[in-house]
Structure 1
Amino acid sequence: MNLRKRAISGIMLAGSMVVMCAIADAASTVSAEAVAVVADTRTDLATDGTAGVVAQLNQVSTDAVEMAAAGVENSQTILVASADEEAQVAEDTEEASAVQEETVSVEKSAQADSKEDETTQEADAVEDVQNADVDSETDTENTVDVENTKDIENTKETENIEDTENIQNTENAEWQNRLMADVDEFLYVRASGDADAEIIGKLYKGDVADVVENGDTWTHVVSGDVDGYVNNDYCVSGEDALDYAQENVETEAQVNTNGLRVRNAASEDASVITAVSEGTTLTVDTDAETEDGWVAVKYKGQTAYVSADYVTTELALGEAVTIEEEKAALAKKAEEEAAAKAAQTKETTTVQNASVSASYDDVTLLAALIQCEAGNELYEGQLAVGAVVMNRLRSGAYPSSISGVIYQSGQFPPAGQGMVASIAANGPKSSCVQAAQQALGGSDNTGGATCFSRASSGRAGVVIGNHVFY
């Protein structure tokens, strides 16, 4: 009995050793795999999150239990024949519990590492999100600033474009029922749409008319006091009329204030040429470069500038005139010309002044000047030129000799150009020699004039032939 007990004890001892070795091997394997799993959890944490880590730990626990169970089964197989089944089961249960505890420890360690990594990653993620928010806010602010600037610029540009378009649209709308004559001088306006109808007015180039009714050949129009019909073949209407007006009619600038400065450049620092009063009309120089806030105008043959704030610009359009109005205008013009001529012409009487002694050369030189200035005039005109030279000689305000008066600088162009000397050398016409001798003898039909110019100049004086003497 004792022997048997000893044998059983030895067998149990040996079996215990076998079980411990098996458990050790299993634990070593489980530990190695747990380490690998911990490493894998870091990767899984980044890719699959916490769920991946839990799945790995569950797998480690399952594998450990299975390996421990396999070791116990092998040990049980060895000990079944030699030991009591209950003792062996108890011991196996204890060993399995130890393995399970180790597995749980490994799992807790892995979970701790996982939580630490997860916390770190979450902190990094929060920081990244915060930084991203800050960057996003900064980018948003910059974007808003840029967009606001662009919106302002776009708004201003849009407003300018809209203003221009509104002006153009308004102008185009005004011209939809307008008409102009596309002619060199004027177009007849008739009482009806017939080429043989009575002429009641004229639509001159640059005049504009309002369309009453369009027709295929004739259009009923109204312009000024004229109400009649014009032939469509000689007219342009609508936007074509506007284009025609802009190309063929001058643009005027009406001054709206007193003392408006006219400058030589589009700048407030530019020199002032003159100042004009309210109501003055200036012609716009449409060929000059445009400057914001300024209007280019024509002033005494040069381009000048006035502030756009104080002028109103518009096309200088005219209106048709009736035949009666035109007759009245022509009569008025004739009266004005007659009045001007009357003011210009005085009653001419020939006075006799003291004669002046002169040599042959003086007579020839004076006759040559008379021929240059009035060689094709009536004799009275030739005498008048000679009288002017003698009146200068007597006045004391000019040179004291005939040659000195004739060759005085800037006075008689033919003398300075050599024409007088040429004619004197070849011999003047007889009528001019006679006029020179009479002038030297004291005859004066100019009323004491010392100057003369073309009668068309409009100067007041005594008109003789094509000259006015004053």
Structure 2
Amino acid sequence: MEDYMKLNKKVIDSITVCGLCAMLTVTAVTNSGRSEVKAEDKVLANTGLEHTGYNSYAGVAATLFDYEKGLTAENAVTVEKENVEMVAAAQDAQQEAQPQLTQEQQEWQTKLMPKVEESLNVRAQADEQSDIVGKLYKGSVADIVENDGTWAHIKSGNVDGYVNVSYCVTGTDALSYAYDRCGEIATVNTDGLRVREAADTNSKALEVADQGKTYQVDRAAQAQDGWIAVVCDSQTGYIAADYATRSLNTRVGITIEEEQAQIAAQKEAERKAAEEKAAKEAAKAAKESKKTETTQGEAVSAGADDLTLLAAIIECEAGGESYECQLAVGAAVINRVKSGSYPNSISGVIYQKGQFGPASSGKLARKLSGRISSSCYSAAQEAMSGVDNTGGCTSFNDHGSGISIGNMKFR
């Protein structure tokens, strides 16, 4: 319809121009006499121009010039309007063609990550010679305060300084880098959440997690509505999405002071671990050594009362010690019975004056009327059967020199 109206307007304009041209021709031919002047007046009246006193030809020419000038101006305005509309339409089309950023992508437009294998120095000023105030380790993310294309002023954790952007990725690229290099974690936000073998509440529970427990998200697993696939004991498990928060496994920068504190704490932990390892190895070696020194001698003839008596003195002397120590106490008593330097019976050895404190203090009597542990009975039985893990020792205490078994010294 619009093109049709434009065409009609052009036809009308052409007819008008032709009419004016015809009037110009008539005026030129009859330009002598009063009758011609009257014809000129009619033309002027039809064109709406005043009579100027000039010849009629000049008046009509001026009319044509003004009319054509008006048409040209109108056409120029129309073309300019059409050009503006075309440019606006092209801009709209370009904007529609550009992909729309998600909310997460929009949030990352002011973020930065170091693209390094270990760490990136954060300096006090935008200068390679400036002091190092912190570090962005691999996987750290920082907020960009200002970026001039060479240096970026960033904040991350307690770090506030400048980094060289040539070693970084920013915006959407940083977000993609975070997903590829850091992965995601799922943090449990309730107690007693079951990690299922499959995305089904009836599936077998692999384990039960409490609030704060984190799992690595298994991005290779097929997504299931309402569930998050996680790595649980080297296999894929599923937790209900409503009870966990999913996030990128990124970190923040650390100051030089924080880094030094972490290094010191790590060294202390390593030192303690080394000490514990050495202690365990020493204990294991001692235990193995005691085993090799354990001998089987002749059994001592004794009745049920002697067994109870020996178990009771073992309880009094080493009730809180290891079984090896309890056996050693029983063996020392039996070694005295066999030695010839002491009484030749269990009761004689135990009640010998000045030898066993519990026998004279009344502690032994109370133990005999009370409860004796099964481990002390077992140690007494082994000792009476001839088992000796002391190498023939006949005395012991909790100090001095001798063979260390538990917290006691045997000589």
Report TM bin, short chain: 0.3 to 0.5
TM-score calculated relative to the size of structure 2 = 0.46
Higher normalized helix content (fraction of residues): 1
Give the number of the structure whose alpha-carbon radius of gyration is greater. Answer: 1
